[in-house]
Structure 1
Amino acid sequence: MVFARRSFEGATTREIAQQADVSSALIHHHFKDKETLWQLVGERIANDFLQAVTAAINPELHGSSECVKQMFAAYLAYWRQHPRALRFKLWRELDAQTDERQAGQSLIYQ
């Protein structure tokens, strides 16, 4: 994933298209611009992360210390299994504008 390797600023739509084996025009046709693609990738990663963590937690343990342990274990396991997603998330946190960072956090802290 180009965004994970190079950040938003470092990635180009041309390089993204080359890695995806499509034309740059196709990227622009489907995603309008790099910003939209960046947002969609971030939303996809956040949703996948939330689904994985939620699925790993026993709902009967809600509010208990065991639930917190399960949540923490699922959190670590997800990022260990998805290192490119973690790199993307870190770039997103480091490079993001305040409103983007707050939007991403609102998904997690609902």
Structure 2
Amino acid sequence: MARGNSKANNSHATILKVSIELFAQHGFEGVTMRQIAQAAKVTLPAIYHHFGNKEELYRAVETDLYGQHADSLLVDLHAAASPEECLRHFIGNLIDRLESDPAYFKLVQRNLVEDWPENHQFLVDLSLQGVFDELKKLLNTFIDGSGDGMQPILIFSMIFGFLTLQPVARMVSGYRLAKVSRAKKRAMLIDNIISFIKVSPAE
């Protein structure tokens, strides 16, 4: 019995791993269950047994990726002594996670631009709302009122926008950061976001 459970667990993990890569690369609409079955080397009935249908499989992918990253980000928001140190820690680690996990970053990018309100609500409930609420509290501790305006969403926007544009920005003539090391760019991005928070009106 234990051997059967182990095999089932392995199949579940393999399907999930393959699905993460395929959905990140091609999006929800661009992947079929048959493609996932072939890549995972399992039968179609096996996928339906473990995940029910394609949408439930996609939700499982999002839960796996977003859930673990959200938990880590919540830890980051309480990981240092001062509010500014916490903010720097949070921003830096979010940058690191996006850069070190291409599948996660691609899935985030796809979910941001896809016209799928039900999925947007699922992702807010799954991960964004909790992180947003804690970031808002931290910003208000850092500068009174700064978490009550656009700053929490703008922080995410600046990070995702900057990283998304890097492949193109490197080709822009005169872009002086094109040859700057990743570590220095990371430090500059953190400094710029902190400076933006300090000079932006708390509205």
Do the two structures share a fold, i.e. TM-score over 0.5?
Answer: yes
Indicate the structure (1 or 2) with the bigger Cα radius of gyration: 2
| 1:109 match: secondary structure | helix
TM-score, length of structure 2 as denominator length:
0.49
The secondary structure found in structure 2 opposite 1:10 is coil
Q: Which residue matches 1:74?
A: 93
Q: Distance in 2 between matches of 1:72 and 1:29?
A: 40
- Could you say what the CA RMSD is over the residues aligned between the two structures, in angstroms? 1.8
Alignment partner of 1:100 is 2:119? yes
Choose the corresponding residue for 2:63, options 34, 43, 56.
43
Deviation of residue 60 (structure 1)? Answer: 4.6
* 2:14 aligned with 1:11: no
Structure 1: where are the runs of 5+ without partners?
none
Gaps of 5+ in 2: 1-20, 131-203
Tell me how many residue pairs correspond in the alignment.
109
Q: Distance in 1 between the 2:100 and 2:75 partners?
A: 15
TM-score calculated relative to the size of structure 1 = 0.86
Deviation at 1:66, TM superposition (A): 1.2
1:34 equivalent to 2:54? Answer: yes
Task: Specify whether residues 60 and 76 from structure 1 end up closer, same or farther in structure 2 by C-alpha distance, changes over 3 A only.
Answer: closer
Q: Residue 129 of structure 2 corresponds to which residue in structure 1?
A: 109
Residue equivalent to 2:72: 52
